[in-house]
């Protein structure tokens, strides 16, 4: 019995050490959330124009073409909840902020709280940006929360030696530049658009929609109270594409 307990103890200790080691390595992998948190905290005192929202501005608005002291804090697929928390967190620390550009994809209005399809967003925001949605302590351990997603990330960076982030010094994400996409990427667009419609179709009572509209009004009120001009950047609506 003592030998059995000894083996169990050794195995458990080894497993814990392995988890700690892998978790540490995961935290060293470059990612857009950690990069943009560092970027914005470095420039809170001089930021005059701030870009937040989802991929429509994350990859679509280059601060280099705007006035000085413009930074892109947008994250592809980011929920309204996180947009609001990020802005309210940093707006108090930006004495020179004059304009906020908020990029909104139509499906963002129905995506908040969709934890079953985007648990990675919850975990990554909690770990790398210090924003907690539900204060789940397990979400502080990336390996246990995301499992295979973490291992793909680990493999991509440490084994395949491929970039895991393509943000430039102003925060623009170049991951979707055509030179980084394969030749068949256009063929995936119909399925992608169809997936984006699913949360909208599932929100039969309009609960998520009205919650996010409320968040939009709250952000507008915060900007107004600070004398900051808020610009909404929205692409044309894309109809459902079926095969």
The rounded distance, in Å, linking the Cα atoms of 15 and 20 is 9
Distances (CA, A) of 105 to 36, 75, 131, 197, 234: 20, 12, 22, 11, 6
Assess whether pLDDT exceeds 90 at residue 51.
yes
- Pick the closest to residue 119 from 144, 80, 143, 146 (CA basis): 146
Q: Kindly tell me the number of DSSP H helices and DSSP E strands found in the chain.
A: 9, 4
- Predicted TM-score (pTM) of this structure: 0.83
Assess whether pLDDT exceeds 80 at residue 127.
yes
The rounded distance, in Å, linking the Cα atoms of 243 and 197 is 15
Res. 228 pLDDT band, cuts 50 70 90: very high
């Amino acid at each position: 019995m003592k030998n059995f307990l000894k083996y169990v103890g050794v195995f458990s200790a080894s497993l814990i050490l392995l988890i700690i080691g892998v978790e540490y390595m995961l935290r060293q992998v470059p990612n857009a959330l950690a990069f943009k948190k560092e970027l914005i905290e470095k420039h809170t005192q001089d930021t005059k124009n701030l870009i937040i929202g989802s991929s429509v501005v994350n990859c679509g608005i280059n601060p280099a073409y705007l006035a000085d002291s413009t930074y892109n804090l947008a994250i592809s697929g980011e929920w309204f909840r996180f947009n609001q928390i990020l802005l309210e967190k940093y707006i108090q620390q930006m004495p020179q902020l004059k304009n906020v550009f908020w990029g909104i994809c139509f499906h963002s209005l129905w995506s908040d709280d969709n934890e079953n399809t985007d648990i990675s967003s919850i975990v990554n925001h909690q770990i790398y940006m210090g924003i907690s949605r539900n204060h789940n302590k397990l979400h502080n351990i990336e390996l246990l929360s995301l499992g295979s997603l973490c291992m793909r990330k680990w493999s991509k960076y440490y084994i395949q030696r491929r970039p895991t982030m393509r943000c430039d010094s102003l925060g623009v994400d170049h991951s979707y530049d055509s030179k980084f996409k394969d030749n068949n990427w256009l063929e995936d667009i119909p399925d992608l658009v169809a997936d984006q419609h699913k949360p909208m179709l599932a929100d039969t009572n309009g609960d998520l929609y009205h919650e996010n509209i409320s968040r939009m009004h709250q952000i507008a009120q915060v900007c107004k109270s600070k004398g900051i001009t808020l610009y909404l950047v929205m692409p044309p609506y894309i109809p459902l594409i079926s095969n």
